[in-house]
Structures are given as C-alpha cells and as structure tokens.
A and B are shown apart, each in its own frame.
Chain A
Amino acid sequence: MISQVFILTTSGDHLIYKDFRGEAGVDAIRTFYEAVTALSGDQPPVVMSHKGMHFVHVKQGGLYWAASTKSNPSPFTVIEFLNRLAALTKDYCGSLSEKSVRMNFALIYELLDEMVDYGYIQTTSTDMLKNFIQTETMSSKPFSLFELGNVGLFGAETQQSKVAPSAATSRPLMFTRGDQGGNEIFVDVIERLSVIIGSNGVVMKADIEGEIRVKCYLPGCSEMRIGLNEELSIGKSQLRGYGMAVRMDECSFHQAVKLDEFDAYRILKICPSQGEQTVMQYQLCDDLPCAPPFRLFPTVERDIGNRLLIYLKLRCDLSPKSVALNVSVTLPIPKGSVSLSQELSSPDQSAELQSKNKALQWDIPRFPGGAQLSALFKLEVPGLSSASLQEVGPVSLCFELPKHTCTGLQVRFLRLTPTQPGSSQRWVRYVTHSDSYTIRI
C-alpha cells in the first residue's frame, strides 16, 4: 500500500503532495529529496529507505514522481502505478512538464483522489475516471490542429495521405466538450532498435522492441478493428505466406484486446477507452529482416606530431524514400584531446568536442536514405601514444526514422464499428527510434 504520493521538481519544489494514510509527515518529502539528490552514480536510486520508510520514484518529464510506503509492496506495482499516474497526467494535461503540472494541480489532486484510497489503487482506467473528474484542463496555449510548426516527424498514409502534426497528440483529452476536433484516433507503431555492430562490420546484436499505441479522442467508440500484415508470423518456426514475411519472436496484448480473428486474419479487435494505451507489444531478437539502417566506415590514423585523424564515412541503408532525422553520432576520443577541427560535407551539420564526456559529437539534422556522408576530424592530443588509439570508440548513434518500421509491420486498415457519425479522423503513424545503436571501431 502507498502511504504518500508526491511530485517534485528537480530543484525540490513541491508540486503535488497527497498523504493517504497519515503514517508520516511532510518531512518525508525533504528526506526523499535529500536522499535523491545525494545519490552518486553507483547506488540504486529507484528504491530508497529511510527509517522504515521506503521511497520508490520514477523520473518522467523532468519531475520526480515518488511514492512512500511503510510496507514491503511489489516494486513492479508501485513503479507501474507511478508511470500510469504520469501517463494519465499527460493524457489529461496534454503534455508532461513542470508547467503543465503546476497549472493543473487541482486536476491531479482530483485524479489521485479517485485513483487511490487509503493507499490502495482503486482504478486507473480513463473510462472509469472520466465520470468523476470535473476539473477542466488548463492549457498553456490554445490548441489548434492547424499549427503545423513541426510537420514531418510522423507521417500518415491512410486515408487522404494528409499529414498529422506531431503536436496533435500533445493535446488534453476533452471529456466535457466532445464536439470540436474530438473525433480523432491515432494508432502509432513505435519501434525501438538496439544494435551492436562489431569492428568487422558483423551485426552482433540486433533487437527490436515494438509497440502499437492507440490514442483515442473519440467520446464513444464501440469497437475498433486494426488489421496488421496478413503474412505476419510469430515465433521462430511459423512461416506464413510467401515472399517477405513480417516476423516477430514474441508478442503480448493489452487485456482488453479480443484475438478471435488474430490467428486467421491478423486482426486485433479492441474497444479503446479515451486516452493512450498500449495495445500490443512485440519483440524481435537477433534477426533483422532488413539491413541495419546505418553503416560506418571509420579510419583512425596518427598524423605527424600529436595529431589524430579520424575519418568517418556514414552510410544510410534505408530506401531512398525514407529519411532519418536528428542523427547524432557520438565518438569517445582520447582523454587528453584539447582541440578539434572538422571538415563536414554540408553546412547544416555540426560537430563539437564535449570535453566533459571526452567525446566528439556529430549532428546531422536530416539524412536521406541511400546517402553517404563523410566527415574528417583532426584532434590535437598532447602526448599521443599508440595506446591512445585504443581509446577511440565505440561509436554510438541516436536517430529517429519516421514512417519506417524495421520489422516491416504495417497497419492494413483501421475500422471503427459502428461507423462514427460525422467526420472521424483516423491516423496511423510509424516511427523507429534508436534505443542503443553502437558500432565498434
């Protein structure tokens, strides 16, 4: 059972504090804050104990979401609850930040009051909660669907191939007013890629963790059918169809998903409740259906004197239609490096020496598929020895691939029954993130 729940900013300001059981005073917050800020790197900061009180916290949106307890509950439950609280806050307030929590504190108190009674979790489903939540969301700026400042992060290929603004989902659920712009449903296929490529170019590890997330603004929706690729096969042995099969090792579904048509037609049936939920999670280990998106061809040489030459050639192996965004290459360099000069192939790229991390970072805002970029870095390293060369690497990449899934999973169709009156908007979006993409040198 949970004794208290509180939300703190990183500077220690109290945003929300609710005591459910009266077992400990407000001092607990200070104790927690002192403990969490005093942490050095090698302690497990998720659970901390102080005089019989246990503090469990998660960090989301730059805030500490903490729960204290005197009993010894399941850590999974408490962590999931705090994550759920953060997710609900995001659903209700539109975004997750200090500002939105500050502005909507009354609403969060109301949420907490309905979610937890006497430290016991009562309900966290939006369907139940929406009947009880009365406070209206305070939004920092009025939402407009046509605010297209950030187009292109996600693409939508169903329907009229219109593009949904990426800010479209950072919008509060409006339960009270269901009319304006509330007839939308977003289905996101999100994959996280973790890859290790050895120095000889062999893929040593390639895992994909994916999920299908539904964010629903429809006030009432009885059933939704999501059709996935028919040739989707699950597990190592099973193969369906001919040609390019989409494979995954394991998948699991949300409790509410009905799977009676899944085996035959790969159709998921669900009655989405308002807000965001993960409908399906899947994994694929050690076997990418396509080539890894990036290849690196590095050359590291000693130049005359104390100068180190690093020549990086980076190739994007996506199809020419796709594009990678916000690519950032981080390369650890010898400790003593003092200065960096670079030759980059286009002016929108940038590179800098991060003396704190002893690394150089090369940022490429936009990287079209099939392209090859190269960069030459000259490093001044006093006391350069052959051993210093071993300190170079491994390279890690951070990127985002919109409109692309590495497994090839696609949503064939999205149907709502009964058909919604008026114009309901259905969006399907795909994105692949790099969870960890490492290339050894």
Chain B
Amino acid sequence: MPYFGSEETVKELKRALSNPNIQSDRLRYRNYIFRVIRSMTQGLDVSALFMEMVKASATVDIVQKKLVYLYMCTYASLKPDLVLLAINTLRKDCADPNPMVRGLALRNMCNLRMPGITEYIQQPIMTGLRDKAPYVRRVAVLGCAKMQRLQTLTEIDATIVNELYGMLRDPDPVVMVNCLRALEEILQAEGGVVINKPIAHHLLNRLKDLDSWAQSEVLTFLLRYRPRSEDELFDILSLLDGFLQSGHTPVLAATLRLFLQLAAEHPAVQVDALVRARGPLLNACGAQSRELRFAGLCHVQKILKSQPGQYGAHYKRFFCSYSEPSYIKFRKIEILVELVNDENVGLVLEELRGYCTDVSLELAQAAIAAIGRIGRMYSEKCLDILTGLLGLKQEHITSAVVQTFRDLTWHCPQSTVLVCRAVEGCEETIQDAEGKQALLWLLGVHGGKINSAPYVLEGYINGLKSEMSSAVKVELLTAAVQLFLVRPAEMQDMLGRLLQYCIEEESDMCVRDRAILSYRLLQCGVAETRRVIQGPESDPSMGVIIGRPEEPVSNWVSTFNTLTPLCGRVTSPEPTTSGCTNHTTQNVVADPLAGTSEETEVYTPEDKQGVIGMSLGPTLLHEDFERLWLELKLSLRENLGFPGPRSSPETLQAALQLVKMQTLAFSRADTLPWKAYIYTHCSGTLVLAELLQPTAEPESDGMVLSIKQKPEDRQVLQEFVAVLKTVLQTLIKGTS
C-alpha cells in the first residue's frame, strides 16, 4: 500500500546510504539498510535505491549481506541492468572459503529472477554440486531447478539430470531430498522424477536418517512406485509400519496414504492400517493448534466414509469444546452424525441437544439439522428431543426444527404422526421465510392429520398483504390447494380468497402464474387436480433404511493428505433441505407431460437444482434475441442423440414453460428441417438455445442443440442441458 511521504523517505534513505560518514560507521550503515528492508516489507517501492544497495553488498558483515541480497532478489526483475553490477560480488563470494558465505551467495544468485542470468549462474552451480560442504550442495541442487525455470524454452540438460540422479546417493539427507525435488521440477514435462526399484529401495532405507519434513515428502514421492511382487509389497509395508504411529502428523498422514495406496488390492491391510493410525489421528484432532485440529477432523471425515464403525467408540473425542471456533464445531457435529451407532446414540444426542441452545444461531441450527439426520435411523429418540426444543419458543430454534421435521417426514414416513402432533401451535414463533415454507409444506402434505391446519393457513392468508417472500406465497398456494382436496369444507372459502388476491392484486409474476395455474387446474375438476397435485408424501427412492453405504477407500485416497478435504464447504447442502418446495412442483410439471403414464411421475432428484435456478425473467424481444444470437460465441453444440418430439408445438411450449424456459419461435411440427429457439434466465446469466432437427430420419441422427450464453457459466449450462434433455425425453415418451 502506498504511504504518504514515500518519496521523501526514499530520498532521505538515498542520501543517508551514499553519505561516506555513515558508510564508514558500520552500525549506522546497517541501521539504514534495516530501514530500507522495513519499508520494502511494508509495501513501499524502494527500488530506486538499487545502486546504493549494490554498493552495500560488498561487505564482510554477513547480516548486512543477507539483507542486501533479500533486497536484490525482490527488485532484480525491475532493474536487470543494475543487477549485473552485483554479479561480480556474488561470484566472488561463491569462491569464499567459508561454506556459509558460498551457500548464501549461490542461493541468492539463483534467486535473482531476471532473464539472462543463467549464463552467470551455470558455472557456480556446477561447481556447487561438487562442493565438499553439504550446505552448498543443498543450495546448488535446488539451483538447478531454479535455472531450469528461468530458461523454460531450452531443452532439458541431460548432464544435469544425470548428475542429480547420481546425487541421490549423497551422504547428506537434505541433499538427497533436494535432488528429488529438483528432478521433479526439471522433468515436470515428462511426468516428474522416475522412482524405479533401486531408487525406491534406496529411499526406503534412508528414510530413518531424514528429518520429519523430508520423510513426509519422500513418502509422497514413493506413492509413484509400484512394487513388483507381493513379497516386495509386504517388505515395504513392514518397513513403513513404524511410521504409522509417528507423533509427527505430516509423516503419519503421508504414511497412511502410502499404505492405503500400496495395499489397494488388500482391503484387510487397508483396514488394519486405518486402525493403527487411528490413535495418532485422534491426537491430531485434539491438538493444541486449532488449524491442525481442523485438518485432522477433515481427514477423519474422509475415513469415516469408508469405515463408519471405526471411530464409533471414540465419539467423545468429537464433542465440541466451548472455546473452539465455529468451523471446528461444525466439522465435529458432522462427524458425530456419521459415527453414530446403537451404543453411542443416546449420549451423542444428549450432547447435540446441548448445542441446540448455543449462543451462535448457526451452530444451534446445525445441531438441530444434525439431530434430524440422526433421526432417519433413530427417529423416536430424535423426535422427542426436537419436540422438546419447540417448547423453548425461540424463533430460530423453532424454524430449524420445523425444517428438520419436513426433511424427516420426507425421508422417514413413520415419523409423520408424531411430527403432525408436534407442529401444532408453532406457527406463532416462526418468523423467517425458510421456516414458514417448511411449515406450509407440512400443512399441505400432511394437513389431513393436523387438526388446526386450516386455521393456520387462514392466518397466513389473512396476513398475505404483509408477507414479503414470494417463495412463501407460492408454497402457501400449493399448500392451500392440497389441503382443499383433503378438507374441502373448511378450505373452500379461504382458498377462493387466496386465489382472488393472488390473481388480481399480486405483483410478483411467479406467484400470479402459480395462482392462475392452480385456478385453471381446479376448473378441470377435483379428480384431475388431485391426480396432478398430490405427489408422494415421502421420498419414493427410499425403501427400508439399510445401513449407510460404505464408500471404497479408493474414492478418496487420491485426495488424502492434500488441501482438498479442507477446502470443501463445512455444511454440505442436503439435497432436500432447499428442495422440498419442488417435490410438489415436480409433480405438477411431470404430470401434464406424461399424459397418463405413471412411470415419469417423479423426476430424479438431480434435476431439481436446475429447475430451481431458472426463471422466465424479463421477456426477450425477437430482435434482441436475434442480435444476441449473432453477437455471442457458441458455448456448446451437442448432438442430443434422439429425435425431436412429435407432440404439438403448443405442448412443447407449455412443457418448457413449466421448467421456466421460454420458447421464442419454432417451426411447424412436420416441417423439415425443424427448428426451435429457446431462452431462459438462470443465476444471472442468459441462456439462448437452438434446437435443430436436420433430416427426416429420426433414427439416423438426433437433434442438434446449440447454446450461447451471456455471461458464460459452465455449471449453469450443464444444468440447463440436463433439464432440457429430461423435458424432451419425457415428451417423446409421452407421445410415442
């Protein structure tokens, strides 16, 4: 960041550094150099002092030398011509009798990142590789990698590569590891350093001499090696066995990954390794450093995917401590949900119950959701706790509990009766939109079993004018229609009022359209409405709950001990928490398309996200579409592999509109080539699409889909294509 008066400072420093009086006083001179470095760190541009600093590098004072070198490395690329002045000093230092000076000079000379430096550093590096001091050799070996990086275009120097492979046998362990690192960089284009049998065995034998940093790195390099025979494999594993118990977490994690990967074909060995590494990993989860704790927890979570039973007995290690930051607490809650079993469920639930009243709203809601997830297997105990929480009459708690109830009845129909009893009377406490939606969903789907359902809906309908969220209004419409089918006498009057208000006074188009749709549907008669509106009350894909599927180790082992497990979002979005509104929507969408067929009644859950994101949005005029179509680059062209639907264009248009895609223009049904233009707004992008059926033979090749998008967003594009395909396929099925 620029500081005020920075120019003044630079001028002052320049004056001081070139003052002969100061130059002769070692301490004062050094102090001024300190000030230069301090300004540099703070972000001040002090490159104008380069000349003075070069002069300061010719000194016997090593501290001063180090600081000047740091300065030169930072600004070398800005002042390449001035750097050359320093080269002589550096080269002279490379021949100094003191190995520390030699190493220092060589390291910094290689760090000068500027074009044309290579011709000066090549010779010192080659000498450095044969230096008798290991310190200099370490620097020289990495120097080779730096040199290669500076001259990317030139061929790889085979002599250097051979030399480095030879130096893997260097007596100094750091030199050996540096050779691996340098070779890895130099040979990057060819896939990195080759670990063959002699090298692998050499590395394994040297492993004990290395410090823990080097150990974990060598273990990572060894991942590349594939043992030739079973005997060799088990020899290696027994050699590594001790490292599984290492107290140094990086070594432990690297060893564990190597074990899992080497023993990919011996699941029993993998399980054994995981058991042996459990203790040290648990220690990492309780380490004093919070960051280390977090890393440990993220990796335990991976392991739990394959071995949920393994940590069950150690559930207390994952109880949150009150001083922990929330990102650790969230992970711990997730882990508790995953390792729950018959023995520990009672205590885990009691612990989670404690978090529900936490000061942090997010934590409380996460804990409630966690209880809900455990409830899919142990519904009775969880329902007791959740019902108890409703008694607190706290806004955020009640809202989270009702959302959890909704998910629970969807996944676990046997809990419905208790849920219906519990939700009565909690409408007063719920204030936020998500909670209201969840409650309305429950009232709509299970309204027959909730005595007060019509009165609650009446309350919402009376307060419609002050309701802000359109999602709540849409949910209210659905719920009212659904409840009308079950309890017509109580609902008829208020449903009429609701529809009238929504059609005549509502300004939000989504709500209005939904009201009109509902109205017309009701005009078709009760039987028809029932067929369309009433979907399944619980997740039809869930049969009897069988234990959690165990993921094979190979699914996650490639990311084990990398940053990836730590990067993911803490609270993985549950596929249903946001999507329940759409269960009913889906049925509305699916039915008219499917005609009378039963099998297309429910879409697969993957489609949901796509439908959610899209909106008809502002209407696009023909001219605008044409202009955009010509302007934009083609984002995607794909042969769909199936012919166009034979249904009437109106059906197509209606079907697409239901998934929020607007049809702009299409050719008549039997013309060839047949074309249709579609657009939609989706997560801030505009997607334009063209469907083209070139020939009459539907079997020969399918429709061609071309998509243009503004601005580009790959994910949206994929969702769009997925949704469009589903719609078209459904149409084909419906008409054929």
Q: Which residues of A contact B (CB under 8 A)?
A: 1, 13-19, 22, 26, 41-47, 49, 54, 56-59, 72-77, 79-83, 105-106, 109-110, 113, 117-118, 120-125, 131-132, 134-135, 192, 194, 196, 198, 204-205, 207, 209, 250, 252-255, 281, 283, 285-286, 330, 332, 335, 357-359, 385, 387, 390-391, 394, 396, 398, 435-436, 438, 440
Contact = CB atoms under 8 A, between A and B. Distances in A.
Contacts of A13: 42
A332 B359 contact: yes
Contacts of A43: 327, 569-570
Interface stretch (B262-270, B280-288, B478-486, B530-538): B280-288
B41 interface: yes
A69 to B, nearest CB: 8
A66 B178 CA distance: 23
B405 interface: no
B562 A80 contact: no
B463 to A, nearest CB: 23
Contacts of A56: 291, 563
Contacts of B38: 105
Given A42-B571, A254-B247, A385 B37 contact: no
Best-buried of B322, B354, B567 by chain A (most CB within 10 Å): B322
Contact of B283 (A26, A58, A122, A283): A283
A117 B142 contact: yes
A14 B280 CA distance: 36
Nearest to A84: B213
Nearest to B251: A76
Interface string B42-71: 110000000000000000001100110010
A196 B354 CA distance: 11
A74 B279 CA distance: 19
For chain B, the bracket of interface size reads 35 or more
A75 B326 contact: no
B323 interface: yes
Given A74-B253, A75-B295, 12 more contacts: A15-B41, A19-B74, A46-B327, A76-B216, A76-B292, A106-B66, A109-B66, A121-B213, A252-B247, A252-B280, A255-B211, A391-B394
B102 interface: no
Interface in B670-692: none
29 contacts: A15-B41, A26-B43, A43-B570, A47-B563, A54-B567, A58-B289, A72-B564, A74-B562, A75-B561, A76-B249, A76-B295, A76-B561, A79-B291, A79-B292, A80-B248, A80-B292, A82-B291, A106-B37, A118-B111, A120-B142, A120-B178, A120-B217, A122-B138, A134-B66, A252-B247, A254-B247, A332-B359, A385-B393, A398-B323
B392 interface: yes
Interface in B81-119: 100, 107, 111, 113
Contacts, number: 217
Contact of B67 (A81, A82, A109, A120): A109
Given A117-B138, A123-B211, A285-B316, A135 B63 contact: yes
B360 interface: yes
A134 B63 contact: yes
Contacts of B178: 117, 120, 122
B477 to A, nearest CB: 32
Given A14-B41, A105-B37, A436 B100 contact: no
Contacts of B357: 332, 390-391
B321 interface: yes
B669 interface: no
Interface in B558-604: 561-571
Contact of A118 (B42, B142, B319, B393): B142
A385 B247 CA distance: 52
Best-buried of A118, A435, A440 by chain B (most CB within 10 Å): A118
B465 interface: no
Interface of B: 34, 37-38, 41-43, 62-63, 66-67, 70, 74, 77, 100, 107, 111, 113, 138-139, 142, 145-146, 174, 177-178, 181, 211-214, 216-217, 220, 245-250, 252-254, 279-280, 283-284, 286, 288-292, 294-295, 298, 314, 316-317, 319-327, 330-331, 347, 350-351, 354, 357, 359-360, 362, 391-394, 561-571
Contacts of A42: 326-327, 330, 362, 570-571
B141 to A, nearest CB: 10
Contacts of B564: 72
Contact of A253 (B220, B247, B571): B247
A390 B390 CA distance: 12
B346 to A, nearest CB: 11
A286 B314 CA distance: 10
A358 B359 contact: yes
B369 to A, nearest CB: 12
A79 B298 CA distance: 14
A255 B247 CA distance: 8
A38 to B, nearest CB: 14
B316 A281 contact: no
Nearest to A117: B142
Contact of A47 (B66, B177, B566): B566
